[in-house]
Amino acid sequence: MRDHRLLLFLLLALPFVDFYLLIRIGAAMGFFNMFIGVLIAAILGFRLLQFRSWTLWHRLQLSLRRGEHPAREVLDSAIVMGAALLLILPGFISDLLALICLIPVSRHRLAAYLEKHGEMLMSTRAPQPTDAHTIDGVFRRED
């Protein structure tokens, strides 16, 4: 539970820290240079998102034709599409996170981590009531 709060805090703080760094770095390197850099990153993010969505569609069709389970392709493409969305967002921290996700070694490690923890989350069931005062049955009101 504590880890989830820290992750939520970091996700909520990221835009503010990114905006602060954008202003500071923009003041140091000049507004025009910073604007061009952010614009190029956004264009690359849009193109990557467009290319990866078509690639994912093609890979899904091929793996389904072969009778394979396409989970790994979907997860890998989801990470790359998330990186593309991070590139679209203006900011240097989001661009750095996107570049980390685009490196194949770190992307495969992240995919393995998500597969492992995703299975753990999917395999857990809701706890069944063990109270002795609970009676299972069907209720019907007759007036």
On whether the CB atoms of residues 18 and 94 are closer than 8 A, the answer is yes
Q: Is residue 127 part of a domain?
A: no
Burial 102-138 (b: 16+ CB within 10 A, else e): beeeebeebbeeeeeeeeeeeeeeeeeeeeeeeeeee
Query: pLDDT tens, 105-140?
Result: 999 898 888 888 766 555 545 455 555 666 667 777
Q: Is residue 24 part of a domain?
A: yes
What global pTM score does this model have?
0.71
Mean pLDDT value across the chain: 83
Query: pLDDT tens, 1-35?
Result: 566 788 788 888 888 999 899 889 889 989 899 88
What is the domain count for the chain?
1
Query: What is the rounded CA–CA span in Å between residue 25 and residue 114?
Result: 33
Average pLDDT over residues 67-83: 85
Q: Is residue 3 part of a domain?
A: no
Q: Is residue 36 part of a domain?
A: yes
Q: Is residue 143 part of a domain?
A: no
Q: Give the structural domain span for 59.
A: 10-118
Q: Is residue 133 part of a domain?
A: no
Give the residue among 85, 100, 93 at the shortest CA–CA distance from 49. Answer: 85
pLDDT of residue 67: 83
Q: Is 107 helix (H, G, I), strand (E, B) or coil?
A: helix
Q: Is residue 16 part of a domain?
A: yes
